[in-house]
Amino acid sequence: MPENNRILSIDIMRGLTLVLMLFVNDLYMPGVPAWLGHMDAGFDGMGLADWVFPGFLFMVGMAIPYSITKRIAGEPSLAKVARHIVIRSVSLIIIGVLMLNSGRVNEELTGIGKNLWALLMYTGIFLVWNKYPEKENNFFTITGLRLLGMALLAGLVLKFRSGEPENNGSLITGWWGILGLIGWGYLAAAFTYLAIRDNIKNTIVALSFFLGLNILSKLSLLDFLDPVKPVLGVIIEGNVPMIVISGILASLILRKYATDYRMIIVTFVTFSAISLIAGFTLRNWFIISKIQATPSWGMICNGISMLIFALLYWIVDVKKQRSWAAFLKPAGENSLTTYLAPDILYYLIWMTGVPVLIYKQSGIPAVVIAGSLLWALLMVGLTALLAKYNIRLRL
């Protein structure tokens, strides 16, 4: 899409959700207001942290129509487009599972410290999935670095032992990790878009289908699918694909009414109201719970995302007020790097014992909150710095 036609609010909201994700991930300290964190699985309600992940899933969906349309224009072979979708999804799932298991390392059985295992794992991820500069004379260098990364990851997987009975102490898929959930959601939503393209009515049908799966799953009416749930559970439960497809719907609204910003905003507010009403209606049968991935929580989050995006669209793309959001640009453009880079620093801090995160020991909620917010902003700065040295992840 040409730069002058680019909808900058998409990049800004993606960057905003990432900054908030880094903020709430760093915020787990006693005394912090409950409304900033995750609610317990059985609690009927949600805090800021309970919206951040579905907010990012929503933005994953918003990017799908643009990225797939661009790929189809450059590569008319649908088989190659489908292969790209599968490779991207599998890559996210692999990284998600590796991250999920990094905390399960049994140092004695694995023969390597937990923090070092994680640092080597992230090194392998960056070697394999980094977007290297395209030059005529660096093909073999890039190939060598990627093969080195693959060998490193394979070695870490082979050495991994948790000391737990699951799967003989080796890697488990579990709940797939955050990136794994994104990978499964992207897989289902991207193929849905590939099948129905820019048809808004069919997109609403697809959204309703996955919402229906979510409802049936929570009513235990899909238990007959238990044998395949260890692999396909994220899709069968419907919640994650439903949220991603809601993002696709948002982009289709932008495309349909591209020349009429008033209609765009009215339509977004309308769909937001429908989602919120549906969510609070579903609350009669399902509590609002992120941990349980209930349909009421999913629809309420969709409604919030629609409203926030409508506001950002009006400020950024209609009123052209953009300078205030410049600090979000690196995160919006390099989302995977922004999400993973802080973990590398965490493991370095834990391994060396250097007291960098001193605000966490203050015991004063305002200091902890300010420290976590500063940490999130510094991580965006780190992403910008890494990009200058051609370190940026691309799947």
DSSP state of 39: P
Q: Is 29's pLDDT higher than 80?
A: no
Q: How many CB atoms lie within 10 A of CB 281?
A: 11
What is the four-CA torsion angle of 20, 21, 22, 26, rounded to 10 degrees?
A: 100
Would you state the pLDDT for residue 50? 95
Structure tokens belonging to residue 72: 């189809």
What are the pLDDT digits (tens) for 281-330?
999 999 999 999 999 999 999 999 999 999 999 999 999 999 999 999 99
Does 89 reside within a domain?
no
- pLDDT bin (cut points 50, 70, 90) of residue 136 is low
Q: How confident is the model at residue 2 (pLDDT cuts 50, 70, 90)?
A: very low
- Asked if residue 96 is part of any domain, the answer here is no
Task: Return the pLDDT at 4.
Answer: 46
Residue 347 lies in a domain: yes
In a domain, residue 121? The reply is no
- The rounded distance, in Å, linking the Cα atoms of 32 and 371 is 12
In a domain, 214, yes or no: yes
Q: What is the DSSP letter of 265?
A: H
> Over the chain, what is the mean pLDDT?
93
Contacts of 284 (CB under 8 A, 6+ apart): none
Whether 254 is in a domain gets the answer yes
Residue 374 in domain: yes
Question: Which of 29-38, 61-70, 100-109, 271-280 is predicted least confidently?
Answer: 29-38
Q: Is the pLDDT of residue 31 over 80?
A: no
Residue 162 inside a domain? The answer is: no
pLDDT score of 21 more than 50: yes
Number of structural domains in the chain: 1
> Residue 340's domain spans which residues?
3-64+197-388
Q: Which residues does 186 contact at the CB level (< 8 Å), separation at least 6?
A: 60, 64, 85, 88, 89, 92, 244
